[in-house]
Structure 1
Amino acid sequence: MTTTQEELLPGTRRALLHRIALAQAEGRAPSLVAAVVRGSRAVWHGARSMRDEHAPDENVQYRIGSITKTFTAVLVLRLRDEGALDLGDPLEKHLPGTGAGHATIAELLAHTSGLAAETPGPWWERTPGSLRPELTDLLGEQPLRHPAGRRHHYSNPGYALLGALVEQVRGASWEDVLQREVLEPLGLYRTSVRPRDPHAGGWAVHPWADVMLPEPAEDLGRMGPAGQLWSTTGDLARFAVFLAHGHDSVLSAESVREMRTPAAPAEVADLADGATYGLGLQIQHCGGRVLVGHSGSLPGFLANLTLSVEDDVACVVLANCTSGPALSTVGADLLRIVTEAEPRIPAPWRPLREADPSVLEYVGQWYWGTQGFALRLTADGLVSLEPLSGRGRRSRFRQNGDGTWTGLEGYYAGELLRVVRRPDGSVSHLDLGSFVFTRQPYDDSAPLPGGTDPEGWRGIG
């Protein structure tokens, strides 16, 4: 989402409209609205409604349920970036007395704390928050369902605790902190804790009859950080741009990238679905793409935000029904329609403004044992190590300024790549986390661990 592109083609717009029309009709949703983002701006908005004379626009609020969790995660990452806390800190260090203080902040963000999925007592989404005035009311006498850190187990109370953590550290309400530190800087003026006109009403549609029942819109109280917010397709489109690139006054690009990075062990079922969880964001492999975002539901409402950073496309879908259309599927389909009909045009290739001659000495072909690799210097000033066969470990590396490079992803993430020179200054070999890369397979002029047979390479003989 970095380059402005022309509006979507008529055929693409019609395909998008057809997809949401199908979702609204087959899912029997009173209304369904959607938006597509490309080039850091919304390029399409569509709506379908049960009322011929009314089609909600991008400014009509819907309740977004658990997408609220992503906003709460942003607030926690802000505290981390300021040095107010560490993600490895136990909750007890900053918010004592909850009964769940053993869990780390990172575990709460990634739903690996072991806490129960829901609160004890009556269904919190359909009852007033005043029934749960204290944090202990959210957890009950036996808050744990699993050992901390062992598995991903989605926990709504866990995010309520994170909201309380924000309040404790900031000395202000979660609502006020969110407004001041996220909503206003990002220009999300139609996102709020309580509904503001124009907003949709929430409905339950009978599963076996085409009739409806209004759903209550409760104030969730302490559970608010897990699902309270109302928003619009217009605001969530802007939020999607932020989740792709960050914002100087809210959260850096590096920190939002961390949010999009898997942080929870996947269950077997999740592996089959290609799904996992980051820090406040759901992550899914779908159709060869990595999709990140979040779904949301509360009685009367469904919501989904999906983005593909690589394709430069994001989609938002909102509906005002308790169940019906599978919005995560709709969002993925909208994204696929755009990316297949109008694939992203890559930026022109441009060379480095200035190349370090010493780096040019060691780009090219290298061998780890007998496996060939290519080391390339790219226009962004990084070097990339890739197997010549196309299969195997690969990574990009960032220069540290002292002759070493740090791996950025995959097996070599965080590992040091060191260029080792001979006494005369020429390059001898590469040392990557103790692996020796040489210009020739098992080059005996380099200090190979275990050495080489003195008779050298040979046939069967």
Structure 2
Amino acid sequence: MTSPREELLPSTRRSLLHRVATAQAEGRAPSLVASVLRDGELVWTVGRTCVEGHAPDENVQYRIGSITKTFTAVLVMRLRDEGALDLSDPLEKHLPGTAAGDVTIAELLAHTSGLAAETPGEWWERTPGATRPELGDVLGEHPFRHATGRRFHYSNPGYTLLGSLIEALRGDSWEAVLRREILEPLGLDRTSAQPQAPHAGGWAVHPWADVMMPEPAEDLGLMAPAGQLWSTTADLARFGAFLLEGDERVLSADSVREMRVPAAPALPGDWNVTYGLGTQLIRGEGRTLVGHGGSLPGFMAGLWASEEDGLVAVTLTNCTSGPAVTALAIDLLKTVAEAEPRIPEAWRPLPELDAELLELAGPWYWGTSTYVLRPKADGALELAPLTGWGRGSWFRPNGDGTWTGRDGYFAGEQLRAVRRPDKSVSHLDLGSFFFTREPYDAEAPVPGGVDPEGWRGLPR
């Protein structure tokens, strides 16, 4: 038996190596590096290359493409948490004069703005950024492809707008804000807008012959917030852990949890794939994966994390097409999760519990449905069905004897314990629903009243 802090078992490590080696060989990748982080610690890395003796490790930079968008989204969420903006604000309120001023910041984050997927003109990823010096050059004369807010449509220009929004509100460049507010606090010193040695070069591999040629590495200019960054598997693994747990120096656990909630309609044909606020979400086989994929000419990248398993997997390669890096990262997660299931933390009692909270613990009834209320640490509460499916949520205390739903059906709704004149609890009031200690408790003000004859059997 292993503990979460120990290295992976030899059999697990070999299974991971085999999967990566197969992906590199069959995908004909010049190089491929992968890392796995478990419960906050990097526990495994392997690099494969066609150049003997030069396999990459967790500190070699690759370009990560659209994983950059998740970093940009974190900066926007920081502005929201500081009160500088609201996600429901129209872009025009903070960045006037664009052709997309009516779309909200949340719609830009979730790719539901209706904006075009790409910029007008030449392929922007292979064209010097200086060719688009103004936002008008990024959006073009006809920036929209769909009605705003109606569907998910991935938009690179949308994240360019978010980068310009950050610059307008911070009064500094996107790159400088990113370094100051995310990279330095999290210790991501091998993540940068420009490549820093050692770094991989990007290649195009011929689809029908085993030959290749170098790809250009353009500075993306205004498009940088959509895909500029270079990083390593070690840095991205730490960033993945941050997306699961938060860090008060950058973004709270509640705010990164909000980023992991679906904010866009599911992709057509696959109801288990959707998009949050700057994160891609995949649901399947009992776990929810959060992360992002990325690609630019010469590079592909995958960053995926499983909260249920405490695992993060990162895969980076330096070819325009080849290995399916997202599928590879997910396979690495599954391999570790199934071979070495997460060992639960030892149960410990709460250090203290207010008597009034303890009074609320136990079964409650919404109509005839049985729920259980459990006090948690720091005055929080969990309300969940006793068995099966139902409307459950965690609630955070407001400091005034009420709680606000943090997730699930009752997210944002207020929970209040209603007391009788003698201070005993009559019922729970939650979003117009009354929860009582007995099913349709005659001693509580049940909406619609309770039949005075009470419960009865079927007459003969």
TM-score after normalising by structure 1 = 0.95
Q: Which runs of 5+ in 2 are unaligned?
A: none
1:6 Cα shift? 1.1
1:380 Cα shift? 5.3
Q: Quick one: which amino acid aligns to residue 88 of structure 1? A: S
Query: In the alignment, is the contact (CA less than 8 A) between 1:351 and 1:379 conserved in 2?
Result: no
Q: Quick one: which amino acid aligns to residue 310 of structure 2? A: D
1:217-228 equivalences under 5 Å are: 217-228=217-228
Q: Report what 1:129 is aligned to.
A: 129
How many pairs align?
457
1:82-231 equivalences under 5 Å are: 82-231=82-231
Q: Report what 2:448 is aligned to.
A: 450
Q: Report what 1:39 is aligned to.
A: 39
Query: In the alignment, is the contact (CA less than 8 A) between 1:352 and 1:381 conserved in 2?
Result: no
How far apart are the structure 2 equivalents of 1:34 and 1:49? 12
How far apart are the structure 2 equivalents of 1:380 and 1:12? 38
Q: Report what 2:244 is aligned to.
A: 244
How far apart are the structure 2 equivalents of 1:91 and 1:38? 39
Q: Deviation per CA, 1:307-364, whole angstroms, max 9, x where unpaired?
A: 1122111011000111111111111111111111111111111111112122222322
Q: Report what 1:309 is aligned to.
A: 307
Q: Quick one: which amino acid aligns to residue 196 of structure 1? A: Q
How far apart are the structure 1 equivalents of 2:159 and 2:377? 41
SS of corresponding position for 2:360: coil
Query: In the alignment, is the contact (CA less than 8 A) between 1:70 and 1:280 conserved in 2?
Result: yes
Moved more, 442-451 or 5-14: 442-451
Q: Quick one: which amino acid aligns to residue 229 of structure 2? A: L
Q: Quick one: which amino acid aligns to residue 304 of structure 2? A: T
How far apart are the structure 2 equivalents of 1:23 and 1:224? 29
1:284 Cα shift? 1.0
1:368 aligns with 2:376: no
Query: In the alignment, is the contact (CA less than 8 A) between 1:200 and 1:320 conserved in 2?
Result: yes
Give the one of 316, 319, 326 matched to 1:318.
Answer: 316
1:88 Cα shift? 1.8
Q: Deviation per CA, 1:54-98, whole angstroms, max 9, x where unpaired?
A: 211112111100011111112222222222222222111221112
Give the one of 318, 333, 338 matched to 2:331.
Answer: 333
Q: Quick one: which amino acid aligns to residue 83 of structure 1? A: G
How far apart are the structure 2 equivalents of 1:76 and 1:123? 27
1:400 aligns with 2:398: yes
How far apart are the structure 1 equivalents of 2:108 and 2:377? 38
Q: Quick one: which amino acid aligns to residue 38 of structure 1? A: R
Q: Deviation per CA, 1:395-437, whole angstroms, max 9, x where unpaired?
A: 1222323222222211111212221222222222222212122
Q: Would the alpha carbon gap of residues 372 and 214 (structure 1) be closer, same or farther in structure 2, given more than 3 Å must change? A: same
Q: Deviation per CA, 1:82-135, whole angstroms, max 9, x where unpaired?
A: 222222221112211121111111111111111000001011111111221211
How far apart are the structure 2 equivalents of 1:287 and 1:389? 21
Q: Deviation per CA, 1:194-225, whole angstroms, max 9, x where unpaired?
A: 22222111111122222212211111111111
Query: In the alignment, is the contact (CA less than 8 A) between 1:4 and 1:40 conserved in 2?
Result: no
Q: Would the alpha carbon gap of residues 292 and 438 (structure 1) be closer, same or farther in structure 2, given more than 3 Å must change? A: same
1:35 Cα shift? 0.6
1:52 aligns with 2:52: yes
Q: Which runs of 5+ in 1 are unaligned?
A: none
Query: In the alignment, is the contact (CA less than 8 A) between 1:368 and 1:437 conserved in 2?
Result: yes
Query: In the alignment, is the contact (CA less than 8 A) between 1:75 and 1:178 conserved in 2?
Result: yes
Percent of aligned positions that are identical: 70
How far apart are the structure 2 equivalents of 1:175 and 1:399? 37
Give the one of 257, 268, 280 matched to 1:282.
Answer: 280
SS of corresponding position for 1:412: coil
Query: In the alignment, is the contact (CA less than 8 A) between 2:5 and 2:41 conserved in 1?
Result: no
Q: Deviation per CA, 1:150-170, whole angstroms, max 9, x where unpaired?
A: 111110001011111112222
Moved more, 14-23 or 212-221: 212-221
Query: In the alignment, is the contact (CA less than 8 A) between 2:4 and 2:343 conserved in 1?
Result: no
Q: CA RMSD in A?
A: 1.6
1:389 Cα shift? 2.6
Q: Quick one: which amino acid aligns to residue 242 of structure 1? A: F
How far apart are the structure 1 equivalents of 2:162 and 2:395? 34
Query: In the alignment, is the contact (CA less than 8 A) between 2:264 and 2:275 conserved in 1?
Result: yes
Query: In the alignment, is the contact (CA less than 8 A) between 1:350 and 1:379 conserved in 2?
Result: no
1:248-259 equivalences under 5 Å are: 248-259=248-259
How far apart are the structure 1 equivalents of 2:378 and 2:325? 37
Query: In the alignment, is the contact (CA less than 8 A) between 2:39 and 2:311 conserved in 1?
Result: yes
How far apart are the structure 2 equivalents of 1:405 and 1:191? 40
1:139 Cα shift? 0.8
1:371 Cα shift? 1.3
Q: Quick one: which amino acid aligns to residue 356 of structure 1? A: D
Q: Would the alpha carbon gap of residues 379 and 250 (structure 1) be closer, same or farther in structure 2, given more than 3 Å must change? A: closer
TM-score after normalising by structure 2 = 0.95
How far apart are the structure 1 equivalents of 2:369 and 2:211? 65
How far apart are the structure 2 equivalents of 1:270 and 1:78? 31
How far apart are the structure 2 equivalents of 1:217 and 1:159? 20
Q: Would the alpha carbon gap of residues 374 and 179 (structure 1) be closer, same or farther in structure 2, given more than 3 Å must change? A: closer
How far apart are the structure 2 equivalents of 1:245 and 1:452? 46
Q: Report what 1:29 is aligned to.
A: 29
How far apart are the structure 2 equivalents of 1:251 and 1:377? 25
1:379 Cα shift? 4.6
Q: Report what 2:63 is aligned to.
A: 63
